[in-house]
Amino acid sequence: MSRNYSVCMLSWTDARDEASRVRFAVFVEEQGVPVEIELDEWDAVSVHALATDSTGRAVATGRLLPDGHIGRMAVLQEWRGRGVGAAILSALLARAKERGVKRAILNAQTRARGFYALHGFTQHGAEFMEAGIPHVAMERCLDEDD
């Protein structure tokens, strides 16, 4: 399958409109996350990965906080299973490494645990609820050889 999308890294100022549209579609509309908690103070200090299709429409997003925490990974439903989530994660991990982060961390929805495990993340601790959705804490060491 050809890769008919591209990924770029943006500040929140540049990513806000398109990243918000993707996140609201996935988290608020599809998963029922309360709209008032979807955007937060961490957006402004994070770097955002944004995947766009051949027309320039955003289809996926994720963010990297200054401490190496990856979050707000969202892929529009019709784009799942095409590798775009892996491309977003790869871009975020590469940026974390560039910044000297030694350990990437994230809170994965339990249904996405397998996806992150395929990308080298391991679970730490018990399942917990976040925004009404079961999650697990996961981490991955970022070695020189990655």
**What's the pTM?**
0.93
All structural domains of the chain: 5-141 (3.40.630.30)
How does pLDDT run across 36-91, given as a tens digit for each residue? Answer: 899 999 999 999 999 999 999 999 999 999 999 999 999 999 999 999 999 999 99
How does pLDDT run across 117-129, given as a tens digit for each residue? Answer: 999 999 999 999 9
Q: What is the mean pLDDT of the chain?
A: 93
Q: Which stretches does DSSP call E strand in the chain?
A: 5-10, 47-53, 58-64, 69-75, 103-109, 122-130, 133-141
Q: And the tokens for 87?
A: 């491309």
